[in-house]
């Protein structure tokens, strides 16, 4: 029998970290073990089933659930706004929200008592309306919410800050209004953060003692929660206190385990398969042995279907024949002052050094970055015009920006990702999925329709994102280095597909690759230090470089760009 040697991967973590980690685990577990060791099993059932214990446990669970649910309802919006909006006094608000975390529970109880108590101003108003709060079950919930709410706010704010808002912006560009973006993108993506906050709120509320005792008192069946019951029996019957403590630990532990193993916990459940619409076309690209699409078969797949893919959203004023795209934008803090005109109904390539302002221009056109002044016209359509006080929201512009990262919505299948924009424009689910599958098939990734975004390759993800943009037939398609991260064979195949699907469409592509320009673009736009240094047809670039000489802005970059054209397609006359 051959022995298999256990292989260990390289780790950059120092081994000595195990010592404080083990000490930390021991510090937490040893007291629990000590508590369990003192339990008298024969006395356990009697104590747990006693009427006072059942009343206290029932009240604790009931009030803790209400408190956790309330924290989600009011704490989620608060945490989300703190993470996504900037307003005057924001730091003060955040400090006050987190204050209950460091206040002694008794101080929290006193604050509630002197605000909502029967002799306090607000409390007396409630008493006059026969809605007295202090020393009632509602007071227990108030105390639990007061000490638990910061956990919800922190969980949501941390989750939003870590994830950013790129997915929301991508959804808005597809035409989704704020409510649809919030309920279909934001909430699902923050689901785990919300659940974590709710669990922490529930656990904190379940163990609350000081604020409850101070504000609500200890009335059997009304305000006496399990922590209060344990405190009362601690002196007279230590075994009962230990048994009740164990019960509280077991219930809290069970809630946490069930919550983290629920279907909503990430990567703990299989994705449900989304059946393909009946009669929908099947992929025409050949599959290679690795499960991807054979790049050599992409010409057939694209040629047969791109021209037949339905255009569900009609372009206003016939964008394919619109004469020009006229952009003027000024953003002094970013060093941008651009005034340029490009032909519509074709692809323009935008080049320039890193930091020249290319991506910022894309964000201005979509509405993600506000301009101080300027306007954007596509043919006869006015997208925005600040002189006329017209700055429409992102979802109303009809401009889709494909970033370097595909930004496929991770909680949706591939086909539902592509159908998202159609649904936002009012298409029924089955109709949207049929159109989406047709577009996916036309781009050679129809076989990925039922997969999750995490189960596709980088090249497939790029085509899926392109399909998601194309199905809504945008007025203007912006592509920010869409081929930069792809392998050479996938890049060639995808560039070939782009050349076909962009024909007749208004599109702008940011690139640093000469081959992208020669294969895809009719016009070259050179952005240099926040200005449009050169806008010319691709076949006139050499003439501009030669005639302008070293005096034209960005001459060195253009000359270097031409030098990268080894085959001499773009700069065949360059010196």
When comparing pLDDT for 462 and 2, which is higher? 462
Q: Residue 255 pLDDT > 60, yes or no?
A: yes
- The per-residue pLDDT for 157 is 93
Whether 246 and 338 share a structural domain: no
- The per-residue pLDDT for 283 is 38
Q: Which helix (H) or strand (E) holds 60?
A: helix 51-84
Average pLDDT, the chain: 84
Ramachandran region of residue 6, left (φ > 0), alpha (ψ -120 to 50) or beta?
Answer: beta
Whether 248 and 331 share a structural domain: no
Residue 242 exposed, middle or buried by CB count within 10 Å (0-12, 13-18, 19+): buried
Q: Which of 219, 239, 205 is nearest to 50 (CA)?
A: 239
Residue that the structure tokens 């054979």 belong to: 294
When comparing pLDDT for 41 and 144, which is higher? 144
Strands of the sheet containing 476-480, edge to edge, are 399-402, 476-480, 507-510, 347-351, 523-528, 531-537
Q: Residue 210 pLDDT > 60, yes or no?
A: yes
Where is the domain boundary, 228, 260, 292? 260
Whether 514 and 374 share a structural domain: yes
* Distance between CA atoms of residues 429 and 26, nearest Å: 54
- The per-residue pLDDT for 474 is 95
Q: Residue 267 pLDDT > 50, yes or no?
A: no
Residues 6+ apart with CB under 8 A from 411: 188, 189, 191
Residue 294 lies in a domain: no
Q: Residue 259 pLDDT > 70, yes or no?
A: no
3-state SS record for 268-332: CCCCCCCCCCCCCCCCCCCECCCCCECHHHHHHHHHHHHHHCCCCCCCCCCHHHCCEEEEEEEEH
pLDDT, mean of residues 254-260: 73
Whether 430 and 532 share a structural domain: yes
- Poorest-pLDDT segment among 121-135, 172-186, 220-234, 331-345: 121-135
Q: Which of 506, 263, 312, 307 is nearest to 420 (CA)?
A: 312
Q: Residue 573 pLDDT > 60, yes or no?
A: no
Whether 439 and 353 share a structural domain: yes
- 3-state secondary structure (DSSP) of residue 522: coil
* Distance between CA atoms of residues 80 and 200, nearest Å: 17
- The per-residue pLDDT for 411 is 95
Whether 105 and 184 share a structural domain: yes
Where is the domain boundary, 207, 237, 260? 260
| 528 touches 560 (CB < 8 A) | no
Whether 421 and 503 share a structural domain: yes
Residue 406 lies in a domain: yes
* Distance between CA atoms of residues 8 and 413, nearest Å: 36
Residues 6+ apart with CB under 8 A from 150: 97, 98, 99, 100, 101
Whether 342 and 231 share a structural domain: no
Per-position DSSP letters for 65-93, written without gaps between them: HHHHHHHHHHHHHHHHHHHH---TTHHHH
- The per-residue pLDDT for 133 is 86
* Distance between CA atoms of residues 50 and 357, nearest Å: 72
Domain residues for the domain of 490 are 304-563
Pairing between strand 324-331 and 336-343? antiparallel
- The per-residue pLDDT for 8 is 52
Q: Quote the longest CA-to-CA distance of the chain.
A: 100
| 214 touches 109 (CB < 8 A) | yes
pLDDT range class, residue 571, cuts 50, 70, 90: low
Residue 334 maps to which CATH number? 3.40.50.300
Per-position DSSP letters for 218-257, written without gaps between them: --TTTT--HHHHHHHHHHH-HHHHHHHHHHHHHHHHHHHH
- What is the rounded end-to-end Cα distance, in angstroms, of the chain? 70
Whether 389 and 337 share a structural domain: yes
Whether 223 and 310 share a structural domain: no
- The per-residue pLDDT for 386 is 96
Residue 170 lies in a domain: yes
Angle at alpha carbon of residue 334, lines to 81 and 402, rounded to 5°: 65
Residue 275 lies in a domain: no
Whether 349 and 496 share a structural domain: yes
- Poorest-pLDDT segment among 55-64, 193-202, 248-257, 465-474: 248-257
Domains held by the chain: number: 2
3-state SS record for 542-555: HHHHHHHHHHCCCH
* Distance between CA atoms of residues 386 and 376, nearest Å: 9
Where is the domain boundary, 201, 229, 260? 260
- Poorest-pLDDT segment among 36-50, 76-90, 263-277: 263-277
pLDDT, mean of residues 216-230: 92
- The per-residue pLDDT for 548 is 61
Residue 235 lies in a domain: yes
pLDDT range class, residue 472, cuts 50, 70, 90: very high
* Distance between CA atoms of residues 171 and 297, nearest Å: 31
Residue 283 lies in a domain: no
Residue 280 lies in a domain: no
Quick: pLDDT tens for 78-136. Answer: 999 999 998 899 999 999 999 999 999 999 999 999 999 888 888 888 888 888 888 89
Residue 9 lies in a domain: no
Quick: pLDDT tens for 161-176. Answer: 888 899 999 999 999 9
pLDDT range class, residue 396, cuts 50, 70, 90: very high
pLDDT range class, residue 569, cuts 50, 70, 90: low
- The per-residue pLDDT for 262 is 57
pLDDT, mean of residues 134-152: 94
Q: Residue 339 pLDDT > 80, yes or no?
A: yes
Q: Residue 318 pLDDT > 50, yes or no?
A: no
Whether 249 and 337 share a structural domain: no
| 419 touches 429 (CB < 8 A) | yes
Q: Which of 445, 391, 392, 393 is nearest to 414 (CA)?
A: 445
pLDDT, mean of residues 192-211: 92
* Distance between CA atoms of residues 349 and 163, nearest Å: 30
> What percent of the chain stands above pLDDT 70?
83
pLDDT range class, residue 367, cuts 50, 70, 90: very high
* Distance between CA atoms of residues 291 and 66, nearest Å: 49
| 530 touches 338 (CB < 8 A) | yes
pLDDT, mean of residues 140-165: 94
Residues 6+ apart with CB under 8 A from 248: 57, 60, 206, 207, 226, 227, 230
Residues 6+ apart with CB under 8 A from 328: 338, 339, 373, 374, 375, 376
pLDDT range class, residue 10, cuts 50, 70, 90: low
Residue 70 maps to which CATH number? 1.10.3720.10
């Amino acid at each position: 029998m051959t022995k298999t040697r256990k292989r260990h991967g390289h780790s950059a973590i120092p081994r000595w970290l195990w010592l404080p980690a083990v000490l930390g685990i021991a510090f937490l577990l040893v007291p629990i073990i000590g508590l369990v060791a003192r339990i008298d099993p024969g006395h356990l059932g009697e104590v747990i089933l006693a009427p006072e214990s059942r009343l206290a446990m029932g009240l604790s669970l009931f009030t803790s659930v209400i408190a956790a649910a309330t924290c989600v309802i009011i704490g989620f919006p608060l945490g989300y706004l703190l993470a996504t909006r900037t307003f005057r006094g924001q730091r003060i608000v955040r400090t006050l929200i987190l204050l209950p975390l460091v206040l002694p529970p008794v101080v929290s109880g006193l604050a509630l008592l002197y605000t909502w108590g029967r002799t306090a101003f607000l409390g007396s108003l409630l008493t006059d309306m026969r809605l007295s709060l202090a020393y009632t079950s509602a007071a227990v919930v108030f105390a639990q919410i007061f000490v638990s709410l910061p956990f919800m706010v922190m969980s949501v704010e941390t989750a939003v800050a870590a994830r950013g808002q790129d997915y929301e912006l991508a959804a808005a560009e597809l035409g989704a209004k704020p409510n649809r973006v919030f309920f279909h993108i934001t909430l699902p993506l923050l689901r785990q953060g919300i659940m974590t906050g709710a669990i922490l709120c529930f656990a904190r509320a379940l163990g609350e003692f000081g604020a409850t005792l101070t504000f609500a008192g200890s009335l059997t069946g009304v305000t006496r929660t399990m922590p209060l019951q344990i405190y009362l029996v601690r002196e007279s019957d230590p075994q009962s206190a230990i048994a009740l403590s164990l019960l509280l630990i077991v219930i809290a532990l069970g809630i946490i385990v069930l919550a983290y193993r629920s279907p909503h916990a990430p990567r703990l459940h299989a994705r449900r398969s989304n059946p393909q619409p009946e009669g929908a076309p099947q992929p025409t690209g050949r599959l290679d042995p690795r499960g991807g699409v054979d790049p050599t078969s992409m010409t057939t797949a694209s040629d047969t279907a791109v021209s037949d893919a339905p255009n569900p959203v009609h372009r206003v004023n016939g964008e394919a024949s619109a004469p020009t795209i006229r952009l003027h934008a000024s953003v002094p803090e970013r060093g941008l002052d651009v005034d340029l005109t490009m032909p519509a109904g074709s692809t323009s390539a935008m080049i320039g050094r890193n930091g020249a302002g290319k991506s910022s221009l894309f964000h201005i056109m979509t509405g993600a970055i506000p301009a101080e002044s300027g306007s954007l016209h596509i043919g006869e359509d006015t997208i925005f015009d600040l002189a006329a006080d017209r700055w429409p929201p992102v979802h109303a512009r009809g401009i889709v920006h494909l970033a370097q990262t595909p930004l496929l919505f991770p909680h949706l299948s591939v086909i539902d990702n592509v159908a998202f924009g159609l649904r936002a424009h009012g298409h029924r689910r089955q109709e949207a999925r049929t159109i989406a599958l047709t577009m996916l098939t036309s781009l050679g990734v129809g076989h990925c329709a039922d997969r999750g975004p995490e189960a596709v390759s980088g090249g497939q993800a790029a085509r899926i994102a392109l399909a998601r943009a194309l199905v809504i037939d945008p007025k203007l398609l912006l592509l920010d280095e869409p081929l930069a991260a792809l392998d050479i064979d996938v890049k060639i195949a995808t560039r070939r597909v782009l050349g076909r699907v962009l024909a007749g469409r208004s599109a702008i592509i940011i690139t640093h690759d000469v081959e992208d320009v020669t294969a895809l673009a009719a016009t070259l736009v050179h952005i240099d230090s926040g200005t449009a240094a050169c806008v010319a047809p691709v076949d006139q670039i050499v003439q501009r470089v030669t005639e302008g000489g070293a005096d034209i802005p960005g001459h060195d970059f253009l000359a270097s760009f031409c030098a990268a054209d080894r085959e001499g397609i773009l700069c065949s006359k360059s010196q």
